Structure 1
Amino acid sequence: MAESALKVFPMRLTPGMELRTSLQDFVREKGLKAPFVMTCCGSVTKITLRFAQKPDGGINDIKTFNEHFEITSLVGTFSSELLEGCECHLHITLGRADGSTLSGHLVGDAIIFTTAEVVLGECTDAVFTREFDEATGFDELVVKPRKD
């Protein structure tokens, strides 16, 4: 798949909403087949992250943080199987009050503090799925042409 037309979905999430769940719900409601995060900024008061794969192949660490963070970046894709409950693949970078950052795979519990201004895009000529990749040991993104 070389190129695709694009649809854009701007939105604002409000205090108390859970970021990941809210985005997954939106994708399901709209029936999006190849959605991805274009941009996001805002703030959270709690978040659960999974950290990078350990070089020895060991279990990834998962940790919940209860502090105020600025969302400085959110990137990732949602597969079409999301309509059937499949997970999304989101990475987030957060800023702390002292200027340091924290980043990882967004697992959940990302509770919006003041706002989350999100723009989702959808490749209208594609379908995103996930298939097991023996080389990585994970379900990885597969891009297919849309047939509908």
Structure 2
Amino acid sequence: MSSVGAGSSLQVHAVRFGPGQELLGSLQAFVEKRGLRAPFIITCVGSVTTAKLRLANATATNTNQVMHLSGRFEIVSLVGTLNPDAHLHICLSDGEGRTFGGHVLGDLEVFTTAEVVLGEAVDLTFSREMDGRTGFPELVVRSKTEEELKALGF
């Protein structure tokens, strides 16, 4: 599996999502509409009323370790990459300060707001390819030049 360790120029995008919007789908639509090829979350603050998270003890053969949350939760942290197969992790806190976190599967319905700052590594492209060692599609980083050559069949 190929992976580039090179640096890149950075472009920053900011967006706010409002009540009732599904955050993961909205972020993916934002990325697709703007044609971002190596996007990632820089920061996010806001709140959600629902969340569907895959827990840390899930494996490639046992992916049903899922938590469904419903209530009012502050987004304490949201991190990850937003290529077509987004890989995001979130940490949420409830009204008593208890935290819950995991791999985002969706159902992140915005409660009041979700203010997100995205970065794009403009000289790179992100994709996901199956990794036999983990059993999951894992991040592959390529330079734009490498990606353009691959598209041409080289």
Tell whether the 8 Å contact from 2:54 to 2:63 is kept in structure 1 after alignment: no
TM-fit CA distance, 1:63: 2.4
Q: Which of the numbers 23, 29, 33 marks the counterpart of 2:27?
A: 23
Q: Give 1:46's aligned residue.
A: 50
Partners of 2:64 and 2:56 lie apart in 1 by 6
Q: What is the TM-score when the length of structure 2 is the normalising length? A: 0.87
Q: What SS does structure 2 have at the residue aligned with 1:112?
A: strand
Contact kept? 2:49, 2:70, Cα under 8 Å: yes
1:77 pairs, out of 60, 75, 81, with: 81
Between the two proteins, the alignment pairs up a number of residues equal to 142
Deviation at 1:100, TM superposition (A): 1.0
Would you say 1:140 and 2:144 are equivalent positions? no
Correspondence 1:6 to 2:4? no
Q: Does 1:118 align with 2:116?
A: yes
Q: For each residue in 1:91-137, what CA deviation from the matched residue of structure 2 results, as whole angstroms up to 9, or x when unmatched?
A: 00001111110000111111101000100100000000111111111
Tell me the distance in 2 between the aligned counterparts of 1:142 and 1:53.
Answer: 23
In structure 2, how many angstroms separate the alpha carbons of the residues matched to 1:14 and 1:58? 34
Specify the code of the residue in structure 2 equivalent to 1:30.
Answer: R
What does residue 151 of structure 2 align with? Answer: none
> Which consecutive aligned stretches of 4+ in structure 1 deviate over 2 angstroms post-superposition?
57-60
Q: CA deviation at 1:60?
A: 4.1
Look at both structures and tell me which one has the larger radius of gyration over its CA atoms: 2
CA RMSD of aligned residues (A): 1.6
User: % of aligned pairs identical?
Assistant: 50
SS state of the match for residue 23, structure 1?
helix
TM-score, structure 1 normalization: 0.90
Contact 1:53-1:60 at 8 Å conserved across structures? no
The unaligned stretches of length 5 or more in structure 1 are: none
Contact kept, 8 Å, 1:42 with 1:116, in 2: the verdict is yes
Q: Distance in 2 between matches of 1:10 and 1:127?
A: 20
Report what 2:152 is aligned to: none
